[in-house]
Amino acid sequence: MAEISTIARPYARAVFEIAREQKKLGAWSEMLALVAQIMAHEGMAEIAGATSVERDVVAGIVIELGGNALTKEAQNMVRVLAENRRLTLAAEIAAQFEVLRAEAENTLDAELRSARDVSDDVKAAISKALEKRLGRKINLVVSKDESVIGGAVVKAGDLVIDGSAAGRLQQLTAALVR
C-alpha cells in the first residue's frame, strides 16, 4: 500500500536523523523492531485504533511492554505515534528506517536459498562477488529451501540470480509452451 509507506516515511526519516546524530543506528533498529513486534501482537492494533481508548493509555501500554529497552527518546517517539494514531505503522516505519540505515552504512541484505547446506567458503565467495558487483557491503543470509531442488537462488535488492534447478525447469516449461 503506497499510502501506508507515504504516511510512515516522515516518521522513519525523523527517527533516522535522531539515530544518526546520536550515532546509534543499531540501537534504534532494535527499538523500532521491538515497537513493531509489540504492535504486531494480537489485539494491539485494535487497541491502538480504538477511539474509546485514550492515546496516552495506548502509549503507556507500549512503553510498559518495551520496558528498559526503550530509551526516553524512543518513549517520546511512541507517544508521538500514539498521539497521531500512527502506532499501527510501526512495522512500516521500522522497515523504512532499515532502508535508510543500509544506505547510510552502504550495506545491502542478500539472501541465498539453496537445497543443501552451503559451506563457509562458498558463502564468502558469493558475498565477495556480490560486494564487487554492487559496490556495497553484503549481509548474506543463507537458508535451506528444498523447493529449489538443486543449485541456488540469490536475491540482493532488485538483483535476482536464479541458478536453481527449479528455475531452469520453469524456463524450460515456458519455452515449450510458446
54 DSSP assignment:
-
Domain ranges of the chain: 2-102, 106-177
pLDDT tens, position by position, 119-136: 999 999 999 999 999 999
pLDDT at 91: 96
pLDDT tens, position by position, 23-69: 999 999 999 999 999 999 988 988 888 888 899 999 999 999 999 99
Q: Answer whether 116's CB lies under 8 Å from 144's CB.
A: yes
Helix, strand, coil % over all residues of the chain, rounded to 5:
65, 15, 20
CATH code of the domain occupying 106-177: 3.40.30
CA–CA distance, 23 with 176 (Å, rounded to integer)? 55
Residue 174: exposure state from Cβ atoms within 10 A (0-12, 13-18, ≥19):
exposed
pLDDT tens, position by position, 77-89: 999 999 999 999 9
> Matching CATH topology for 2-102 and 106-177?
no
pLDDT tens, position by position, 154-169: 999 889 999 888 888 8
CATH entry 1.10.520.20 includes domain 2-102: yes
pTM: 0.76
Residue 159: C-alpha distances to residues 52, 54, 132, 155 (Å): 46, 45, 14, 6
